[in-house]
Amino acid sequence: MEPISQAVRPMRVGLLDFEPLRIAGLREIFTEQPDFQVVTTDWAMAFREASFDLVVVVLRDQAFSLALLARLRARHPRLKVLVIGSGSEPERILDAITAGAKGWLEDTASPEQVMQAACAVLNGSIWAPRRVLSTFVDRTLEGTTARRRRQGPRFTEREEEVLQQLVLARSNREIAQVLSIREQTVKSYVARLMRKVGVGNRIALSVQAASGVWAQKDE
């Protein structure tokens, strides 16, 4: 296991999960090491706290969790997050990294793998399968080139309202109720926004909206 560089105090680790059994297992893994102080947390506490060195997030609802993760990164840009999720599909992992995770582990990972990933992330590395990292780098470079070729998208007032609801991880039905429009109209707005932003799915749209990189609208 790679040692944590310049560890002059215990690393404060927040465990963000809602299954007592899994929390107990993760707590045991970290507390066996003298360099870690473990705190069980939730999204509200994670947003308030600025003293966590690492937050370990166990994904439940993928879209909901990643939208909140993107907001957490926007609130605490230097916070390092390790995500534990089911499956190893590249797109699933890329969505988590794009949302702000510095590492991804399958929920079948061993205690040794959990510690390896945690130490790597704390030392400033990204922990994910090589094939996924390669794809991530390629897409980042392509996206940078595309941004240089065009100005950022501009949104109407209604599109801004829909984006704000997406950041809150609300469903089409919930957005329709909040904005007093039809659910089919919401679907049309989401499709139009994805085309305008240049992303292929709802999660990517929510992540970019949460990051605020193009928070602007038409005059």
Delimit the domains of the chain by residue range. Answer: 11-136, 151-211
- Asked if 63 and 202 touch (Cβ cutoff 8 Å), the reply is yes
- Supply the pLDDT for residue 56: 93
Beta bridge partners of 36: 11
- pTM flag (> 0.75): no
So what's the pLDDT on residue 53? Answer: 92
Round the average pLDDT of the chain to a whole number and report it. 81
For 25-39, 100-114, 123-137, which range has the lowest pLDDT when averaged over its residues? 123-137
| Alpha carbon separation from 34 to 3, 29, 123 (Å, rounded) | 12, 11, 17
CATH topology of domain 11-136: Rossmann fold (3.40.50)
Q: List strands edge to edge, sheet with 103-106.
A: 36-41, 11-16, 54-58, 80-85, 103-106
Mean pLDDT of the region 149-156: 68
Identify the sign of the CA torsion 20, 24, 25, 31: positive
Cβ contacts of 27 within 8 Å, gap of 6 or more: 15, 38, 40
Reported as a pLDDT band with limits 50, 70 and 90, residue 142 is low
- For residue 204, the model assigns a pLDDT of 78
Task: Report the pLDDT value the prediction gives residue 153, as an integer from 0 to 100.
Answer: 74
Q: Cβ atoms within 10 A of the Cβ of 8, count?
A: 5
Residue 218 has pLDDT above 50, yes or no: no
For the ranges 55-69, 75-89, 181-195, the maximum mean pLDDT occurs at 181-195
**3-class DSSP state for residue 36?**
strand
Report the pLDDT value the prediction gives residue 111, as an integer from 0 to 100: 93
Are the folds of 11-136 and 151-211 the same? no
Which residue did the predictor score with more confidence, 203 or 179? Answer: 179
Task: Give domain 151-211's CATH number out of 1.10.10.10, 3.10.25.10, 3.20.20.70, 3.40.50.2000.
Answer: 1.10.10.10
Confidence of residue 96 (pLDDT cuts 50, 70, 90): confident
12 membership: H or E segment, kind and range: strand 11-16
